[in-house]
Amino acid sequence: MAFEPLVWYCQPAAYVAWAKMVDGAFGAYTPCAINSMVISISYLVFLGLCCYRIFLIKKNSKVQRFSLRSKCYSYMLCLLAGYCTIEPLLRLLMGISIFNLNGETGLAPYEATSSIIEATAWCSVLIMIGLETESYIFEFRWCVRFGIVYVLLGNAVLLNLVLPVKDLYSSYALYLSMGTFFCKVLFGILLLVYFPNLNPCLGYILVQSKSSDDEEYELLSGMEQIFPERQANVISRAFFGWITPLMQQGYKSPITESDVWKLDTWDQTETLIQKFHKCWAKETQRSKPWLLRALNGSLGRRFWWGGVVKVVFISCQYTGPIFLNHLLQSVQHGDPAWFGYTYAFLMFLGVLCVALLEAHYVHIIWRVGFRLRSTLVAAIFHKSLRLNHEVRKNFPSGKIMNMITTDVNTLQGVCEQLHIFWSAPFSIINSMVLLYQQLGVASLLGSLMLVLNVPLQTIVVSKMRKVTKKRLDWTDRRVNIMNEVLAAMDTVKFYAWEKSFQSRVHSIRNDELSWLRRAQLLSALNSFILNSIPVVVTVVSFGMFTFLGGDLTPARAFTSLSLFTLLQIPLDALPGLLSQV
């Protein structure tokens, strides 16, 4: 038995013709589904965006305001928006339905509701444009333009539904619908390309690159605000909403040092070094103190939390290929369309989770890397101030500076990439297991080619680093001799040594170019391997699968391609890391 409120709202009995004329999973509910889930939702989003911009124009005193030099363009937009406001009200009052076929009359409740929402949305647009003619602001205007694009996409879906059955419409209803659609498209185009000429309103100061601290719309200047991440709510931390004020400030004027938040206590060097000293004091009580263990005690908690996020992030990467396989199989088997919509929505959620988790992983690991850098620099500086004269002979200032710069930077880079050493095998194993389920033994051949590519690329990258280092040595020689020549130019000119030094510089430059040529050849070889191996692996794997008698369906082929891509990501990252070991 059907759900009675849904039957009353959609009235499927009045739209039986749609089930016969249109190939859709919703049958007689197709007009109701399209109008409610596509058209109404797009207009509700558009209405919310316009209302928020109206609120900013009317109530927000922190935004900079302008006046239009010419209002003709706005009047044209008002004219189009006014027509789009009146048209759904006209259909509602006259009972003109865009879904009536074969002389069917009357408006179903869903269509009446949609017409009211549409008229309200366009009325808000009319009010917004009217307010903009008096006080124009930049804030949120692109969000409103996104809203009109969303509305046009929804109307395009509706038009795609109506056109196949246009012969069953009355000419009046069809021409009214088509004319309104083109009017909306014209309004959308005009709004998207609308960049008005503006004058600053009286009482508001233009935002300069160096703004004063007492401007009302400056969110950060003149205040010593603490880094807001720890105090942000769960949603703000999940979507990095806490950084919005800084981005708004950067949109208005170049960010200066006074605009940036003060570090929270957990990121300050004083807090980090105190925690490290406690861990190091415990470590010195052991027979063999180990710096890495002390760093793990002071910074490891957040570092390993990044590893947990990395595991979840990698796991979510496989939702795309898995649900893609189910989606293509549902199409292949002729399952109801809502199966496909469900799988597509789950794929979208998977991609969203991957993007968020990857951003959080990078944020966590980079923060740990900078904390490690601050801790080690402070520890080295603290230790260097307490060296006696005998020990100081073994640690000259140049060596200490080299430790603070080069060595600490290297450890920071290792910290930011260390999780790849264990996550890469995890990703490789997962990809190979899923590939084996799709292609069987043939997948092992393709996977083996990718795995064997790792040592080959490691050798090429390692050789390229050595060649680059040699080239830099010759560059240093050339620069040194040029500095010597320039420093003693009077002597060189007095003894007429120009030709001699010129030949020496040219000889060193030729050697430098020879090493540069080798490095470029190795780089080209590495690029060739990176770009050719996916094609070779795909051809070999699919060819072997077909040769062994397998049925290469679209679901199997596209799922395997996605999995090979995921398998290649960690394999491409390993050579660069292994060459640094």
**If we measure between CA atoms, which residue out of 216, 157, 220, 221 comes closest to residue 22?**
157
- Taking the C-alpha atoms of residue 526 and residue 464, their distance in angstroms, rounded to an integer, is 9
Q: Exposed (0-12), middle (13-18) or buried (19+): which is 108, by Cβ within 10 Å?
A: buried
Q: Residue 574 has what DSSP assignment?
A: H
Count of beta carbons in the 10 Å neighbourhood of residue 528: 11
Residues 6+ apart with CB under 8 A from 17: 101, 102, 104, 168
Residues 160 and 92: beta-carbon distance below 8 Å:
no
> Which residues is 66 bridged to in the sheet?
136, 200
Of 411, 423, 420, the residue nearest 370 (C-alpha): 411
- Give the residue among 5, 10, 68 at the shortest CA–CA distance from 36: 10
Rounded to whole angstroms, how far apart are CA atoms 324 and 558? 8
574, 420 Cβ separation under 8 angstroms: yes
Q: How far apart, in whole angstroms, are the C-alpha atoms of residue 171 and residue 179? A: 12
What is residue 386's three-state secondary structure?
coil
d(CA 387, CA 188): 71
Place of tokens 């264990």: 422
Residue with the two structure tokens 């366009």: 122
User: Tokens standing for 82?
Assistant: 């006014």
Say how many residues make up the chain. 581
Q: To the nearest whole number, what is the mean pLDDT of the chain?
A: 80
On whether the CB atoms of residues 306 and 419 are closer than 8 A, the answer is: yes
Low-confidence ranges of the chain (pLDDT < 70): 1-4, 6-29, 61, 99-106, 164-171, 201-224, 391-393, 396-399, 402, 406, 574-581
Distance between CA atoms of residues 295 and 298, nearest Å: 5
Distances (CA, A) of 124 to 54, 119, 477, 573: 8, 9, 71, 51
DSSP 537: H
Q: Look at phi and psi of residue 440 and say left if phi exceeds 0, alpha if psi is from -120 to 50, else beta.
A: left
The answer to whether the CB of 352 falls within 8 A of the CB of 573 is no
Q: Are 349 and 317 in contact (CB under 8 A)?
A: no
Q: How far is residue 568's CA from residue 424's CA, in Å, rounded to a whole number?
A: 10
What local confidence, expressed as pLDDT, does residue 3 receive? 52
Helix (H) or strand (E) run with residue 66 in it: strand 66-68
